[in-house]
Structure 1
Amino acid sequence: METLDNTSRRSFMKLAATAGGGLFLGFNWTNSSALPVVVSTKQVAAGSVNFNSYLSIGTDNFITIISPNPEIGQGIKTAFPMVVAEELDADWKLVKTVQGNLDPGAFERQVTGGSGAVPHSWDRLRKAGATARYLLVEAAANRWKVPASECTTSDGKVYHKASGKSLSYGELAEEASKLTAPKEVKLKDEKDYKLIGHSVRNVDNHNIATGKPLFGLDFYREGMLFSIIQRPKAFGMKLKSVDSAAAKAMPGIVDVVTFDNSVAVVGKSTWQVKKAREALKIEYEKEADLESTSDHNRIFQDLLDNGKATVRRKNGDVEAAFKNAAKIVKAEYQCPFLPHSPLEPMNFFAHVREDGVELIGPTQTPDRARGEVAKLTGFPQEKVTVEITRQGGGFGRRLAADYVMEAAKVSKLVKAPVKVIWTREDDMTGGTYRPAVRYRFEAALDKDGQMIGYKLRGVGMNAGNTTREDNFPSGSVDNLLIDSVDHKSPITTGPWRAPITNFLAYAEQSFLDEVAEAAGKDPIQFRLELLEKAKKAPAGDVKYDVDRMIAVIKLAAEKSNWGKKKGVSQGFSVYFSHRSYVAQVGEVIVEKGKPALKNVIVAVDCGIVINKSGSLQQVRGGVVDGLGHAMYGNLTFKNGVPDQSNFNGFRLIRMNEIPEVDVHFVNNGISPTGLGEPALPPTGGAVANAFYKATKQRLRNQPFMEDAAFKSIS
């Protein structure tokens, strides 16, 4: 597949129109029921058509689609055109994609986050492709003077079997553009898919492998300046004074400016500004408590015991259930702060001019970037443009716009185009971490081993609600109390891949295994019994699909040959997040007296799988991400300063530590649901439960390698 990059929508349309015309199809991204509309090439060239996105079929047989959502490695730039091409019966080799820039008037939800892009656009994309196919068939039938019902399509051509005639889409594009789009179009049945469900290479693979400029760090414009910023090294400190004389005197340095609590060095190259930053003489003063990890441990314990909690969900008479219980199970689980550590550190280009602002770079939320910069500069939002580059990871970090604002502030102060670049140390110590959390669980069992009561309290550091109160096992326990307490810390936090569930799933699923053991039941059977209760006699609202969860559990049990492998200790976990259901079985083998994780079997219900290879990569990547951070990831603090500032101190999973990951998808034919995040949350629990089965040591603290129980077995 050929890919077009860094091309504006208007420029692309004018270019395509003047290159020979064809069929242009505008379709509405904001309304799944809105029908595509035929747009003449003259209209497109004139720029007078106000549709939200465009599918074009040129007389050269190439099909081009603008993809509006930011590409962050989740494969959306490949998946979107695959859906259109499937309904269009296109020849995939003749499909091009263009990254759309921010255009709130044309697109809705130009966001990468929450695993929601494909669910949001599925019907819109299908209707666009199907409508184009309808028009092309009508054009061919008119030319051949045969009923359209006698015509078929395949690989970018229309066929009339009875006469043996065929025409390419390019040959029919002009005629099709003069026809009226129908109000209703027939969409393909899943059984007829030729492209969806198969493996397709990412459209950017060639450009990535050959080093083409795709990412924000690649962006360069003649005459732009570079900036590296010094922020307070401790959370809770603020800028008091700065002596920049030595830095300003260094080669290539244009200016040193201050804003908020930051000092920006601006110059002609990244190396020059990096070296000049080291010459700054800065004094800070305290404005809040300088917290250490030891402080957090004390705060956690105090808030679990005495914190004023916000009740998130309560069903039944919890106090009576625990008072009358035959057995009570209690446990606490803790997860640390984590940096995002994307391969591409934060960076952004900004040019604040007298007539508006130009922004270029990697952002998961381009509209947020535009809105915040508009407030900063005083320009109306339509005077702020955002060009979206491909992103070298983000995992939620690029949902924030702080680094975009920095670029705009520096550009405004020095009155020049500026690209702000964070070093790896800036990135790891600059905040917006996954919040640290501690959970306390309690379960009440009756004499028959039925769970009749359940309590969960979550305490987080700037985490807000650390629970997902309507997720399983809610709805399956008659007496339930879920509440949370939040500590306001000067350490900044934000969404991290699969927010909240990335650590909650591990804690919940590990604790459910503890309860199952206390009840004398198999862990999978214990969960299935709870789900049957939620199905037949629900306790309050059930806001997850019980049947989908049961199906994914049974598939994981089947594929892992649960409980039947000799010499293999298996641990189970299942979780619902981002509209999808994932069950996992971790398998541990004891070698020379030491437990070793060898395999993770994964069952996934994400609805229809669009790109099989991309989907497999998302699931396997999520498992490796979840495993690596559960095993090794830890960010600690001393007097407000992170102890880890680069990968020499922050432990990541290594290649030889990655187990086999065996993935199976549920084929239920429902519309696609999320996939970028749901495979990560269950991993920690499956692995912890497998290690327990092998060693009888519960791993209640992440990272596992620093848990006393893990040290005793490794």
Structure 2
Amino acid sequence: MQSIEQTSRRNFLKIAAATGGGLFLGFNWSNAATLPIVVNPEALAAGAVNFNSFLSIGTDNIITIFSPNPEIGQGIKTAFPMIVAEELDADWTLVKTVQANLDTNKYERQVTGGSGAVPHSWERLRKAGATARYLLVESAAKRWNVPASEITTEKGKVFHKTSGKSLTYGELAEDASKIAVPKEIKLKQEKDFTLIGQSVRNVDNKNIITGKPLFGLDFYREGMLFALIQRPKAFGLKLKSVDSAAAKKMPGIVDVVTFENSVAVVGKSTWQVKKAREALKIEYEKEFDLESSADHNRIFKQLLENGEATVRRKNGNVEEAFKNAFKVVTAEYQCPFLPHSPLEPMNFFAHVREDGVELVGPTQTPDRARNEAAKITGFPPEKVTVEITRQGGGFGRRLSADYAIEATHVSKLVKAPVKVIWTREDDMTGGTYRPAVRYRFEAALDKSGQMIGYKLRGVGMNSGNPTREDNFPSGAVDNLLIDSVEHKSPITTGPWRAPITNFLAYAEQSFLDEVAEAAGKDPIQFRLELFEKAKKSPVGEIKYDIDRMVAVTKLAAEKSNWGKKKGVHQGFSVYFSHRSYVAQVGEVVVEKGKPVLKNVIAAVDCGIVINKSGSLQQVRGGVVDGVGHAMYGNMTFKDGAPDQNNFNGFRLIRMSEIPEVDVHFVNNGISPTGLGEPALPPAGAAAANAFYKATKKRLRNQPFTEEEAFKNIS
């Protein structure tokens, strides 16, 4: 098997041209204003046409598009063709998606991260579908000698109802390829959508269920070798010496090589290299201080008091507001490191040849993998190819290229095609964690309960700016100061689903509940008053949409029947991230004397919902991820080494602990915004605020289960 994706770009086009041609449209990913162009299939097959992507309609009625963004479970391979099919009035059963390989000349933003793929491509894809439909209609009008205005389209066919004539798109494809593309194209109105907004099965479902090769771990190349890497067992250590004599003598072992701070065992099977790795005798020496979790707690508290802070935003006279305050509310919140825990551990294939480099594997940033491989080998980037496989989870972990770098090093050293595979223990202890953070909040209230002052200081590890200084309540408070302090740690960190906001939202929204209580106000009403203040008298620049924040807040209150359920303790949270707005109400009931999170009601404004079932999955998954890690996730360290190395030690939420998640989307006709991440940030606070209502004990640190307040109530 040469490839996960059986059809490469060039091979696909050769096959398509050989089957009798059809309609090929090249369209531009980097310029949404540019309409597609009709291109010659023979020229495409010969590689003589420079185009950004393509939409093709074959004479067999099959409609195909390339999907450039890596698929990590966010459903992009389904959403992209749905957008095209909607404008095209295609028969969905005849639409196919091909995963595109890395091509920075053809694609813009070929990355999965930041929940930005659909917002970026929405208009481009609509225009591609609408242009194809226009050409088909014009070709039918010409063949039948009737006005185009009399022709309708539906499910891959064109109709002339007056005469009763109809043709399939495949029958018209070649004629359509000879029609000129218009200068402007009319797109559908939302009220006319028939596919967008419906529930559509993921295009990869069948292959996943039947075990077809899709993922990086599935990739196999005849004659390739396997490698496992031994990395330092503690952050802050460096390699001193390696005795690999015993390992090299073991069955199936081809070589043991060292590079940077790692040792790679290379052989003919994963089991053989795993056993040989255990036979290595390695000495390390200390390069940096070996930090423990107790050190982190001490460092955070010290930096909150005395750290050199960078001011991120300042409005008004903060010092005067707190000096004259009737009441001051102060609280600190802290979260631990977290591993990403994708179901598929890290893996990558590399073949460093004399004429270039071939990379194959699951990556959220294929261009980063290519550029790193180019640095290692000395080849120009255009000599490095990257084939993107489907990914068994990423959550930000696969934004890093470390495992692709390892594969490139090993292949170069052993002069053979190599697949590097991480074990689950490697994956959990290998770093790039969600950074640990501590926040201190202060709020100044006047006699009427108005918040006249607000301060936030964030201390993060390797996180740059651990705040989002322009998010709510910025703009709603006259006197505001947000600053941050960074601690450089040898423990490697990186983006974790909804970077920064995954914990910041919990802390901010929990603290606002504390302030609302001190002001003697209902939590939702307190926030609505702040929104009204920001709308009428904004303080500084406001970078969130107040009306959309208000809309999801009111919708969540309505759908949860806020404050009116007997025996149900409700907690509220609302947050803006990745262009979308999500409000949540957590509901806790007391069972046998213990508080239990039973339900989460989510109100979501992500603009137009493309695939309803996929969108529901993203929201429900985000809520479960947010609640689960807030309650249970805890990565601790002793002398630089992780205390947890597998799921028997690292606690994830269990099926019986998952609450019901009731999702409601705001239908406002706005172009789609992100959805892979925005449902996670508000989840922890909705749960924590509900637990407080039930127990009158604040949960200021994650995970909740490690808090004395939680232990005493459960």
Which TM-score applies when normalising by structure 2? Answer: 0.99
Partner of 2:181: 181
CA–CA distance in 1 between the matches of 2:708 and 2:428? 26
Q: Name 2:224's counterpart in structure 1.
A: 224
Corresponding residue of 1:56: 56
Corresponding letter in the other structure for 1:76: I
Deviations 1:458-479 (A, max 9, x none): 0011111000000000000000
Q: Distance in 1 between matches of 2:565 and 2:5?
A: 51
The whole-number CA distance in structure 1 between the counterparts of 2:110 and 2:167 is 36
Secondary structure of the corresponding residue to residue 595 of structure 1: strand
What secondary structure is seen at the aligned counterpart in 2 of 1:511?
helix
Using the TM superposition, give the Cα deviation of residue 225 of structure 1 relative to its aligned residue in structure 2, in angstroms: 0.3
- Asked whether 1:83 is paired with 2:83, we answer yes
Kindly report which structure 2 residues correspond to 1:508-523, keeping only aligned pairs within 5 A, or say none: 508-523=508-523
Residue 40 of structure 1 deviates from its aligned partner by 1.9
Match of 1:329 in 2: 329
Check conservation: 1:40, 1:178, Cα contact below 8 A: no
SS state at 2:712 partner: helix
1:373 and 2:373 correspond = yes
SS state at 1:172 partner: helix
- Alpha-carbon separation, structure 2, partners of 1:452 and 1:49: 62
The reply on whether 1:122 has 2:122 as its aligned counterpart is yes
State the alpha-carbon separation in 2 of the partners of residues 91 and 521 from structure 1. Answer: 54
Q: In structure 2, how many angstroms separate the alpha carbons of the residues matched to 1:45 and 1:138? A: 26
Residue aligning to 1:209: 209
Q: Which residue of 1 aligns with 2:288?
A: 288
Q: What amino acid is the match of 1:49?
A: V
User: What residue in structure 2 maps to residue 608 of structure 1?
Assistant: 608
Q: Is residue 59–residue 171 contact of structure 1 (8 Å, CA) maintained in 2?
A: yes
CA deviation vs aligned residue, 1:322-372 (integer Å, no higher than 9, x gap): 000000000000000000010000000000011000000000000111111
Amino acid at match of 2:200: V
- Aligned AA for 1:288? F
The answer as to whether partners of 1:475 and 1:539 remain within 8 angstroms in 2 is yes
What's the counterpart of residue 710 of structure 2? 710
Q: Paired residue for 2:447? A: 447
1:663-707 deviation digits (Å, cap 9, x = unpaired): 000000000000000000000000000000000000001000011
Identical pairs, percent: 85
- Aligned partner of 2:304 in structure 1 is 304
Q: Which residue in the other structure is 1:349 paired with?
A: 349
Q: Which is further off, 226-235 or 10-19?
A: 10-19
> 1: distance between equivalents of 2:100 and 2:513?
47
Aligned to 1:569: 569
Q: Does 1:389 align with 2:382?
A: no
Matches within 5 A, 1:185-264: 185-264=185-264
Distance in 2 (CA, whole Å) between partners of 1:210 and 1:543 is 46
* 2:406 corresponding residue in structure 1: 406
**Structure 2 equivalent of residue 647 of structure 1:** 647
Give, in angstroms, the shift of residue 451 of structure 1: 0.2
CA separation in 1, counterparts of 2:50 and 2:588? 58
2:701 is matched with which residue? 701
Distance in 2 (alpha carbons) for counterparts of 1:366 and 1:441: 39
Task: Please give the per-residue CA displacement for 1:115-148, whole angstroms capped at 9, x wherever unaligned.
Answer: 0000000000000000000000000000000010
Per-residue deviation, 1:376: 1.3
Report the Cα distance in structure 1 between the residues aligned to 2:369 and 2:259, rounded to whole angstroms: 18
Asked if 2 retains the 8 angstrom alpha-carbon contact of 1:244 and 1:279, the reply is yes
Alignment correspondent of 2:105: 105
2:485 corresponds to 1:485: yes
1:481, 1:158 → 2: CA distance?
Answer: 61
Tell me the equivalent position of 1:634. 634
Contact 1:14/1:47, CA 8 A, preserved across alignment: no
Alpha-carbon deviations, 1:490-516, whole Å to 9, x = none? 000000000000000000000000000
Shift of 1:287: 0.4
Aligned to 1:265: 265
C-alpha deviation, 1:41, in angstroms: 1.8
Deviations 1:624-671 (A, max 9, x none): 000110000000000000000000000000000001000000000000
1:5, CA displacement in angstroms?
3.1
**Pairwise CA distance, 1:617:** 0.2
Letter of the 1:702 partner, please give it: Q
1:452-531 counterparts in 2 under 5 A? Answer: 452-531=452-531
How far has the Cα of 1:561 moved from its partner?
A: 0.3
Aligned to 2:537: 537
**Do the aligned partners of 1:6 and 1:99 also contact (CA within 8 Å) in 2?**
no
Aligned partner of 2:158 in structure 1 is 158
Asked if 2 retains the 8 angstrom alpha-carbon contact of 1:18 and 1:45, the reply is no
What SS does structure 2 have at the residue aligned with 1:65?
A: strand
How far apart, CA to CA, are the structure 1 residues paired with 2:7 and 2:466? 42
Determine the structure 2 residue equivalent to 1:23: 23
Q: Where does residue 553 of structure 1 map in the other structure?
A: 553
1:160 maps to amino acid: H
Deviation at 1:46, TM superposition (A): 2.0
Distance of 1:5 and 1:555 partners within structure 2 = 43
Q: Is the 8 A contact 1:10 1:47 kept in 2?
A: yes
How far apart in 2 are the matches of 1:694 and 1:237?
46
1-structure distance, mates of 2:180, 2:158: 18
Counterpart of 1:359, as a letter, is L
Aligned partner of 2:601: which letter?
Answer: I
CA distance in 1, matches of 2:44, 2:152: 29
Q: Distance in 1 between matches of 2:272 and 2:72?
A: 30
Q: 1:586 aligns to what?
A: 586
Q: Does 1:95 align with 2:95?
A: yes
Question: Structure 1 residues 39-48 or 60-69, which shifts more?
Answer: 39-48
Distance 1:206 1:614 in 2: 15
For residues 260 and 526 of structure 2, the distance between their equivalents in structure 1, rounded to whole angstroms, comes to 54
> Is contact 1:523-1:572 (8 Å) kept?
yes
**2:66 is matched by which residue type in structure 1?**
I
User: What pairs with 1:124-143 in structure 2 (closer than 5 Å)?
Assistant: 124-143=124-143
- AA at the equivalent of 1:69: N
Q: What's the offset of the Cα at 1:183? A: 1.2
Number of positions where the alignment pairs a residue of Structure 1 with one of Structure 2 = 712
**Secondary structure of the corresponding residue to residue 367 of structure 1:** helix
Query: Could you tell me how far apart the structure 1 residues matched to 2:123 and 2:685 are?
Result: 35
Q: How far 1:44 moved relative to its partner? A: 1.8
Q: SS where residue 535 of structure 1 aligns?
A: helix
RMSD: 0.8
Q: How far did residue 537 of structure 1 move?
A: 0.2
Secondary structure, counterpart of 1:534 in structure 2: helix
DSSP 3-state at the match of 1:171 = helix
Equivalent in the alignment of 1:11: 11
Per-residue CA distance 1:432-461 (angstroms, 9 max, x = gap): 000000000000000000000000000011
SS at match of 1:689: helix
Per-residue CA deviations over 1:264-316 (Å, capped at 9, x if unaligned) read: 00000000000000000000000000000000010011000000000000000
Q: TM-score, normalised by structure 1?
A: 0.99
- In structure 1, stretches of 5+ residues that fail to align are none
Kindly state the Cα deviation for residue 20 of structure 1 after the two structures are TM-superposed. Answer: 1.4
Report the residue type matching 2:251 in the other structure: P
User: C-alpha distance in 1, partners of 2:44/2:460?
Assistant: 52
Whichever residue aligns with residue 180 of structure 1, its letter is: A
